[in-house]
Amino acid sequence: MEKAGGAHGGKRWLPRLLLLAAMSWLLMVYFHLAVFRTPPVSAPHASLVAVPSDGEDGQRFRLRQQEQLKKIGSASVGALPAAVAERRPRGRGGDDASCRGRYVYIHDLPPRFNADILGNCHNWYPWHNMCGYLENGGLGEPVDNADGVFADQGWYATDHFGLDIIFHSRIKQYDCLTDDSSRAAAVFVPFYAGFDIVQHLWGVNSTAREKDALSLDLVDWLTRRPEWRAMGGRDHFFLSGRTAYDHQRQTDSDSEWGNKLLHLPAVQNMTVLFVEKLPWTSFDFAIPYPTYFHPGKDAQIVEWQQRMRAMKRQWLFSFAGGARNDPYSIRHHLIRQCGSSSFCKLVQCRKNERNCLIPSTFMRVFQGTRFCLQPTGDTMTRRSAFDAIMAGCVPVFFHPDSAYTQYRWHLPEAHETYSVLIPEADVRAGNVSIEETLRRIPPDVVERMTETVIRLIPRLVYADPRSRLETLRDAVDVTVDAIIERVNKLREEMGGGRGHLQQQQQTGGGGAQQS
């Protein structure tokens, strides 16, 4: 009887124990969401600084802008795109349901296409040894945080053209990798295209044939693989950490800049990633420049965002950069306007000055500024725009090609929610005062823009490849999702008989021809 009674009492306690366990689990989930989720921020419905129409003078442009700002004044801010704040549970590989349709296969390329190139890092530039920048999976050495501008962890002296190895190192930690290419939604080709061309641009007299050699070799290798035949390469993607202009040489002249990678038909079958794309092509896409911030944990991002929200921003706007020899450059006007304004902080970078080579020099300024001026540089885009966003500073662009036509996967389509556009032509003509333009934006609108910028940080950073974020998604996650979506559309077109590319084997160079 005693034994029977004990067994029966155990049965009575079992449901209670299960209930307590379930309540504990629910409390843990609630705490996790409370810590890592933040309320959504919305976006103004009208442009903060509009682009003047053809023939519109500066005075009429300013009046139209004032009318738009009045409409925004009390407008609620619309939600950021879902992908900005979306958090997806990490897959565990294998047969996990969360990885279905998301698997990525990574080609095991011969070392001549990547590792051997890194071995020549001391010869890439005649004026600087780049090998130190390859440390820590391409992040470089940790920054000196003696003055407290950065956090103690997660910040590195990263080269802005170092994305070849950073992306490769990071995608090895992607949560849905597969060794079976038949299961893959996309195929990554870890070819260090940017580092390859750098070897031939300075301090050497490379011929056109030498500049193109490894790209042609890659195409020949890829097009012989069974993975290529599945879709003629349309499910393949690779990247160059440099701009697309370094890879679109037009002639076979030895003196012309760059190689002809982008003109190879097989490459045009693939998805190609750059830090700056060509404006007239549809198979290449821009992804963010790497910044100095490479968090290894979700908490590092959340803590940094909170720190940027608490910053006292004493400057209305700032400009950090150097002038150009080109008298037509807009930078001369920006330096003059900033230098003459008591609301602007100017960090002017002159040749051979080490000041601007120290990351804390301008990051400290960005952290104390509301708006950061981001004109065109040697090309249309600047790494500085992403450094500014890391500091919670709203970027001010002067040409749509500096961001809006470039980073469509990573930045909101509603450009006015996170940035300001002031047309170059009006600044050059003297029709627009940058200070007056920015001061007319109501404080509550500025605060919402700042919050939007800060909330963009996770999707613009490249996480430390030696660890893995748990819930937040970084620039690689966003990029891979977009590539898979693109490949799925191409796959549907092929299945429906609407494939726009036709694979044909070539002799000599290999590749796929456009039909």
Give 437-479 as a DSSP string: HHHTS-HHHHHHHHHHHHHHHHHHS---TTS--SS---HHHHH
pLDDT value of position 352: 66
* Terminal Cα-to-Cα distance of the chain (whole angstroms): 87
pLDDT value of position 60: 53
* Residue 320 bridge partners (DSSP): 347
Whether the predicted pLDDT of 35 surpasses 70: no
Contact between 265 and 515 (Cβ < 8 Å):
no
Question: 3-state DSSP call for residue 105?
Answer: strand
**Nearby residues of 157 by Cβ (< 8 Å), 6 or more positions away:** 133, 140, 141, 142, 143, 292, 359
Q: How far apart are CA 404 and CA 401, in angstroms?
A: 6
Region 51-60 average pLDDT: 46
Region 463-489 average pLDDT: 96
Please state the pTM of the whole predicted model: 0.81
Rg value, the chain, Cα:
26
- Residue 56 phi, psi dihedral angles, 5° rounding: -80, 125
Q: Is the dihedral of CA 454, 457, 40, 394 positive or negative?
A: positive
The larger pLDDT score, comparing residue 494 to residue 234, is at 234
Q: Which two tokens stand for residue 289?
A: 């420049």
Closest CA to 395 of 381, 378, 379, 408: 381
Region 98-113 average pLDDT: 96
Q: Give the pairing type, strands 344-348 and 315-321.
A: parallel
E strands, 209-250, are 236-239
Residue 69 pLDDT level (bands cut at 50, 70, 90): low
The larger pLDDT score, comparing residue 35 to residue 125, is at 125
Average predicted confidence (pLDDT) for the chain: 83
Contact between 395 and 382 (Cβ < 8 Å):
no
As a whole-number percent, the residues of the chain with pLDDT over 70 amount to 77
The larger pLDDT score, comparing residue 257 to residue 27, is at 257
Residue 59 pLDDT level (bands cut at 50, 70, 90): low
Q: Give the pairing type, strands 236-239 and 271-274.
A: parallel
pLDDT value of position 169: 97
3-state secondary structure 167-182: HHHHHCCCCCECCCHH
Contact between 371 and 453 (Cβ < 8 Å):
no
Other beta carbons within 10 angstroms of residue 128's beta carbon come to: 11
Residue 224 pLDDT level (bands cut at 50, 70, 90): very high
Residue 327 pLDDT level (bands cut at 50, 70, 90): confident
Whether the predicted pLDDT of 33 surpasses 90: no
Whether the predicted pLDDT of 113 surpasses 70: yes
**Which of 32-36, 308-312, 416-420, 433-437 is predicted with the least confidence, judged by mean pLDDT?**
32-36
276-313 pLDDT, tens digit each = 999 999 999 999 999 999 999 999 999 999 999 999 99
Closest CA to 199 of 158, 153, 164: 164
pLDDT value of position 71: 44
Whether the predicted pLDDT of 94 surpasses 70: no
Contact between 422 and 438 (Cβ < 8 Å):
no
Residue 248 pLDDT level (bands cut at 50, 70, 90): very high
132-164 pLDDT, tens digit each = 999 999 999 999 999 999 999 999 999 999 999
The larger pLDDT score, comparing residue 182 to residue 29, is at 182
The larger pLDDT score, comparing residue 307 to residue 80, is at 307
- Residue ranges and CATH numbers for the domains of the chain are 98-286 (no CATH), 299-459 (3.40.50.2000)
Q: How far is CA 298 from CA 154, 247, 351, 381, in A?
A: 11, 36, 39, 28
